[in-house]
Amino acid sequence: MKNVQWLEARKRPAVIRYFRWYIEMEDCGPVRWWCEGSRGSTPGYFVDTLEGTHRVSNGDYIVQGVEGEHYPVKPSIFEKTYTTEHAQEGTTMDFDLTHIFTYHAPDDAKQAKYAELRSVAHLLAKSIMTRCPDCPDRFIAINKVREAVMWANSSIALDGGTETDG
């Protein structure tokens, strides 16, 4: 087999439509039930995609692509590939705003965690400054380091508690 030269590309950000499909929903949107023989040897739920017909499993996400096509995506892949614009109805993403917007005075243990994060982030930012050319991407990279520290500090301050308990 010949060697190939792999190139890198960044996927363009695109907003897609999706829903999570559960077996109780049965035939729904592009998801259809097909009996034995019509779509293979095993009955089940399927979606017609640009690449052919694909089986849908309980809990899969059904995504509508930029051309209006549909395809199933396993939850583990969906969570690694997409960020959602808002929480779906019925999920546990009901935030306790009082908890989030209350000042949480840091104790000594939290102060030490903040200091360690800032120190490591500072080293990373210095490395980016010395190794990357002066360009907009370098500026963005350093701001993302700052943003990561902010979110990490927030998780420490809130003890991981941004959602309601019930």
Domain count, the chain: 2
DSSP-H helix ranges across 14-161: 75-81, 97-100, 108-131, 136-157
Average pLDDT over residues 41-58: 82
Place of tokens 């930012």: 125
| Mean pLDDT computed over 77-89 | 72
Given a cut of 90, whether residue 55 has pLDDT beyond it is no
Last residue of a domain, one of 81, 106, 133: 81
Note down the domain range covering 37.
17-81
- Work out the mean pLDDT of the chain and round it to a whole number: 80
Residue type at position 11: K
Query: Is residue 132 domain-resident?
Result: yes
Q: At what angle do helices 136-157 and 108-131 cross, to 10 degrees?
A: 170
Q: Give the Å distances, CA to CA, from 35 to 39, 40, 54, 117.
A: 7, 8, 14, 56
Instruction: Based on the fold, state whether residues 25 and 74 are members of the same structural domain.
Output: yes
Identify whether 75 is part of a domain.
Answer: yes
Instruction: Check pLDDT > 80 for residue 20.
Output: yes
State residue 23's pLDDT score: 76
Q: Do 70 and 104 lie in a common domain?
A: no
Task: State yes or no: pLDDT of 54 exceeds 90.
Answer: no
Look at residue 47 and tell me if it is in a domain. yes
pLDDT of residue 127: 95
Residues 123-152: tens digit of each pLDDT: 999 999 999 999 888 998 999 999 999 989
Give the mean pLDDT of 153-166. 70
Q: Is residue 88 part of a domain?
A: no
